[in-house]
């Protein structure tokens, strides 16, 4: 399995960014749509730099 960064948007323009473990991009989209049904998947990337950036930002949020 591979990690994918999934960007989500709801009808109120609230954004979420999540990391999903999946076999491919299609599976990542299905997992995100199932887990966050009120959100629209706007972008999925397997980019390792984006995944690491997201994890660093999440760590900083927890440390504040």
Number of domains in the chain: 1
Euclidean distance between CA atoms 17 and 54, whole angstroms: 8
Tell me: the pLDDT tens digits for 13-23?
A: 999 999 999 99
Domain at 11, CATH number: 3.10.20
Rounded-to-integer distance, Cα 15 and Cα 26, Å: 20
Q: In which domain, by residue range, is 51 found?
A: 2-63
Report residue 52 as tokens.
């690491």
At 60 the pLDDT is 63
- 25-60 pLDDT, tens digit each: 999 999 999 999 999 999 999 988 877 887 787 776
With 80 as the cut, is the pLDDT of residue 8 above it?
A: yes
Contacts of 47 (CB under 8 A, 6+ apart): 5
Note the residue count of the chain.
64
| C-beta of residue 20 within 8 angstroms of C-beta of residue 51 | no
């Amino acid at each position: 399995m591979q990690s994918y960064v999934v960007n989500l948007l709801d009808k109120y323009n609230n954004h979420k960014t999540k990391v999903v473990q999946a076999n491919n991009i299609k599976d990542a989209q299905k997992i995100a749509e199932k887990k966050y049904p009120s959100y629209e998947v706007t972008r999925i990337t397997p980019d390792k730099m984006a995944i690491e950036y997201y994890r660093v930002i999440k760590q900083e949020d927890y440390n504040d």
